Amino acid sequence: MTQSDFGVHLMGVLALELAGGSVPAAAALPQAQAGHLAELLARDLGKLVPGAMALELSFAAAHFDPAEVLRPGWPLHRRLDELRRRAPGHQQGPRVIAFGADNHGQVPLPLVADPSLHGGHMRVLPFLLSGAAETVQALEESFEEVLLDRGMAAADTALLAQQAFGAQVEHARYLTLHDLAAIMAMQYQNQGLQLLWPVIETALLAPDDEEWLDQAPEPLLRYAQGGVQIALLDPAAWQQRHAGTLPTDVEQLQRAYEYFQARQRQIAAVLEAHGIPVTFAYCPDHQQARATLAS
């Protein structure tokens, strides 16, 4: 089977759920450990989904925040495919390929995680399963059905990940990117950010579409052409937009506006974590804010 026969992919992650406050000591594994962990992944996935061994496995033995994986165009998995294509052994059939730290212990690009996104309870390690179109399509539904329900990593796989990364791992499981997106949607709902998720989902799955968040008391924003514009309302325009729902006490009103500004910053930070660029558009008249963002 030639390299051109491996042009269709299934994208997934090994998700490590960490004990509270645990931070992995290693950002990426040296090549020997990376290769060993990749072999265990291939074995686990083959047991979970019969037929998976016919696919080529490419694995990044470096951990990331889920938002770094769930970005428009799937840049980490796309880069993993580029590395896979350059790896030796193209004519040897399906390979198991691992990418980790270099000989000096340094983590090469693009496997360097964003340090500002450390500290979450879940870290994810991307993997790519590549094969002929008919093989991938035949297995895709099985992966979507099996991994979310019973895709726990084997005990020796979880133990190796825990020891190699120097982390307290409570659970290690395999997820497709759709599974990961569903988990993130639930987490955002628990954090009161459920109205933002349709914007992120559109950027991920339908990047050429348009999506609005226009539901008070949330900030007004529009996704289009790969980026988000947020309406920047001054105090007067903000009061007009939320007339009838605001406190009358001056100090309480000031605190409410400061909370609104903080909410804008929070939403902008979440979008940027997902690789969605954000700009602010000054809107002095709240009635014209939608028109300003749409222009």
pLDDT, mean of residues 171-183: 96
d(CA 129, CA 83): 13
Q: What is the pLDDT of residue 187?
A: 95
As a whole number of angstroms, the distance between CA 208 and CA 3 comes to 31
Helices (H) and strands (E) in the chain, counts: 10, 9
CB 66 within 8 A of CB 120: yes
Cβ count within 10 A of residue 200: 26
Query: Tell me: the pLDDT tens digits for 46-75?
Result: 999 999 999 999 999 999 999 999 999 999
- Tens of pLDDT, residues 120-151: 899 999 999 999 889 899 899 999 999 989 99
- The residue-averaged pLDDT of 275-284 equals 94
Q: With 50 as the cut, is the pLDDT of residue 2 above it?
A: no
pLDDT at 108 over 80: no
Terminal CA-CA length for the chain: 51
d(CA 120, CA 116): 11
Q: Please, are residues 80 and 283 in contact by the beta-carbon 8 Å criterion?
A: no
Across 248-276, average pLDDT = 92
Measured CA to CA, the distance from residue 145 to residue 39 in angstroms comes to 23
Q: What's the pTM value of the predicted model, to 2 decimals?
A: 0.92
* Percent with pLDDT over 70 in the chain: 97
pLDDT at residue 262 in the model: 95
Predicted pLDDT of residue 5:
55
Give the pLDDT score at 241.
83
Whether 284 shows a pLDDT value over 70: the answer reads yes
Task: Compute how many other C-beta atoms are within 10 angstroms of the C-beta atom of residue 106.
Answer: 10
Q: How far, in Å, are 29, 38, 184, 239 from residue 220 at the CA level? A: 43, 44, 22, 14
In this prediction, residue 110 carries a pLDDT of 74
Average pLDDT, the chain: 91
pLDDT of residue 174: 97
Model pLDDT, residue 283: 87
Respond yes or no on whether the N-terminal peptide bond of residue 217 is cis (omega within 30° of 0): yes
Q: Could you give the count of Cα atoms lying within 13 Å of 188 in the half-sphere of its Cβ?
A: 22
Bridge partners (DSSP) listed for residue 171:
17
| pLDDT (0 to 100) of residue 3 | 46
pLDDT at 1: 41
Among 15, 30, 106, which residue's Cα sits nearest to residue 63?
Answer: 15
Whether the per-residue pLDDT at 97 is higher than 70: the answer is yes
**What pLDDT, on the 0 to 100 scale, is given for residue 6?**
60
- Can you point out the beta strands (E) in the chain? 8-18, 56-60, 96-99, 122-131, 169-176, 211-213, 221-224, 227-232, 278-282
